[in-house]
Amino acid sequence: MEWRRPTYLDEYEKLLTRMSTPRVMIDNAGCSNATRLTIDSARKHGILLEAIQVLTDLNLSIKKAYICSDGRWFMDVFHVTDLNGNKLTDESVLGCIEESLETVHYGRSKGMDDLTALELTGTDRIGLLSEVFAVLSNLHCSVVDAKVWTHNSRIASLIYLKDDDSGCPIEDSEKLEKMEAMLRNVLRGDNDIRSAKTSVSLAVTHTDRRLHQMMFADRDYDGNICGDAPVVLVQNYLEKDYSVLSIHCKDRNKLLFDVVCTLTDMEYVVFHATVDTLGDRASLEFFIRHIDGTPISSEAEKQRVILCIAAAIKRRASQGVRLELCTVDKKGLLADVTRTFRENGLNVTMAEISTVMGTARNVFHVTDAAGNPADEKIIDSVRQKIGVSRLKVKELALICHEKVERGEATAMSWSIGNMVRRNLYNLGLIKSCS
């Protein structure tokens, strides 16, 4: 007689599977100017970051969000649009969103498994990127994909490579050691007061998250926050043992991801949160604790959280003129283009590089040597040298040097205090918002 395990065990396993698999509901009728996504599942550490990572990777803009992951259950509501501010109506897009959220993956970047990942951190300077790409070109390495961030005079880059000759990941240990040694010398320069770091790996993580981790490890949050600085406050709500993180800043794409990514890597757990945007401004609140369930315990820790969150917001804030290069890929292309930038006194503050089906699609943000918007005549000269039809100006992003006046800062603090009380009331954590 064939043995069969009890039916109740089968049903129990099905229940566990249903609980651990996120359930997604998409509503296009309940909100006039956005598509509403509701996600619920059993709570686990990092699941909020997973969900937001999926949404940002799908190029969705999060206009509002209500997050609750207290107890053993996790439920989020996101109001999203496309990058042009439109509701999502294409059924194939909605189906892709639902499928992606129900099968959230954590950590790895898709399509990078067959490449060598090169990580670089060091002191930023004009022409540094040109020197890096020149070294890689001389070593017969092709850059398939890359992202470069700069912040507080530091640079972090994650570059995905393959061997020019074989088209495969670079596995020659001598070549890899030579590459790392040469790049460390380039990153140090003549007067690097802090250590430069290089590493090569076949283990690929999510690119944006890894760049945040590299910048954080490099302590880019030490120093002044320049430009349009975010207002970040931390208060303790002792009655419920939460710390309340309040942020008011300029809205931009991937803002929520950058904040939640940093909180997760600093080992804070988000129990409740609200996100609201109006025009070009964003207000965010997070009710957080340490992983062990305790709130922030000291003034020094509060200040560190404020600095780290402000840095995470500013890292991706583009500065300067946005230049887009679209052309047939060839060996040494990046070395040639970035050398032209350097020879004309342009500094690359951010770069996003990709190669698809033999076509290079690269985005550079450039300023002059002092960090000011580049002169239009210089930009025109660079375009003539590289090719006017290949290198296009897409955006002139002026760098804001204005400081918040004391009266405005006080008004902002009062506004955020009211927002904290209102959202505590909305989340059911206090009985009155007055």
pLDDT of 43: 77
In a shared domain, residues 325 and 209: yes
In a shared domain, residues 130 and 86: no
Confidence of residue 359 (pLDDT cuts 50, 70, 90): very high
CA distance 154 to 124: 5
Mean pLDDT value of segment 412-433: 49
Taking alpha carbons only, the member of 198, 204, 101, 201 closest to residue 157 is 198
In a shared domain, residues 199 and 239: no
Instruction: Among 70, 102, 134, identify where a domain stops.
Output: 102
In a shared domain, residues 288 and 338: no
Confidence of residue 135 (pLDDT cuts 50, 70, 90): very high
Q: Which amino acid is at 142?
A: S
Portion of the chain with pLDDT greater than 70, in percent: 80
> pTM value?
0.84
Query: Above 90 in pLDDT, residue 47?
Result: no
Confidence of residue 332 (pLDDT cuts 50, 70, 90): very high
Q: Is residue 68 part of a domain?
A: yes
Mean pLDDT value of segment 407-428: 47
Confidence of residue 166 (pLDDT cuts 50, 70, 90): confident
In a shared domain, residues 120 and 213: yes
Query: Above 60 in pLDDT, residue 391?
Result: yes
Query: Above 80 in pLDDT, residue 257?
Result: yes
Query: Residue 302: which CATH number?
Result: 3.30.70.260
Q: Is residue 13 part of a domain?
A: no
For 168-221, the pLDDT digits (tens) are: 888 888 999 999 999 999 998 766 656 778 888 766 678 999 999 999 999 999
In a shared domain, residues 349 and 408: no
Q: Is residue 62 part of a domain?
A: yes
pLDDT of 202: 65
Portion of the chain with pLDDT greater than 90, in percent: 60
In a shared domain, residues 359 and 393: yes
Report in angstroms the alpha-carbon separations of 183 from 117, 133, 211: 14, 10, 18
DSSP assignment letter at 108: P
CA distance 168 to 175: 14
pLDDT of 169: 87
Q: Is residue 15 part of a domain?
A: no
Contacts within 8 Å (CB) and 24+ apart, 296-303: 296/234, 296/236, 296/243, 302/234, 302/243
For 394-409, the pLDDT digits (tens) are: 865 443 333 333 344 4
Mean pLDDT value of segment 330-348: 95
Please provide the DSSP assignment of 286-340 as one string. EEEEETTS-----HHHHHHHHHHHHHHHHHT---EEEEEEEEE--TTHHHHHHHH
Mean pLDDT value of segment 138-145: 94
Query: Above 60 in pLDDT, residue 363?
Result: yes
CA distance 350 to 366: 7
In a shared domain, residues 335 and 312: no
In a shared domain, residues 120 and 190: yes
Assess contact for 275 and 76: CB atoms under 8 A. Answer: no
Assess contact for 129 and 189: CB atoms under 8 A. Answer: no
Mean pLDDT value of segment 13-25: 65
Q: Is residue 342 part of a domain?
A: yes
pLDDT of 12: 53
Q: How many domains does the chain have?
A: 3
CA distance 118 to 264: 24
pLDDT of 182: 94
Q: How many angstroms separate the first and last alpha carbons of the chain?
A: 71
The whole domain housing 419 covers: 231-316+404-426
Confidence of residue 104 (pLDDT cuts 50, 70, 90): low
Mean pLDDT value of segment 101-114: 61
pLDDT of 413: 42
Q: Is residue 146 part of a domain?
A: yes
In a shared domain, residues 309 and 382: no
In a shared domain, residues 53 and 201: no
CA 279 to centroid of chain Cα atoms? 21
73 or 4, higher pLDDT: 73
Instruction: Among 102, 130, 147, identify where a domain stops.
Output: 102
Q: Is residue 64 part of a domain?
A: yes
Query: Above 50 in pLDDT, residue 414?
Result: no
Mean pLDDT value of segment 45-51: 87
3-state secondary structure of 81: strand
pLDDT of 324: 97
In a shared domain, residues 262 and 214: no
Assess contact for 286 and 232: CB atoms under 8 A. Answer: no
Q: Is residue 108 part of a domain?
A: no
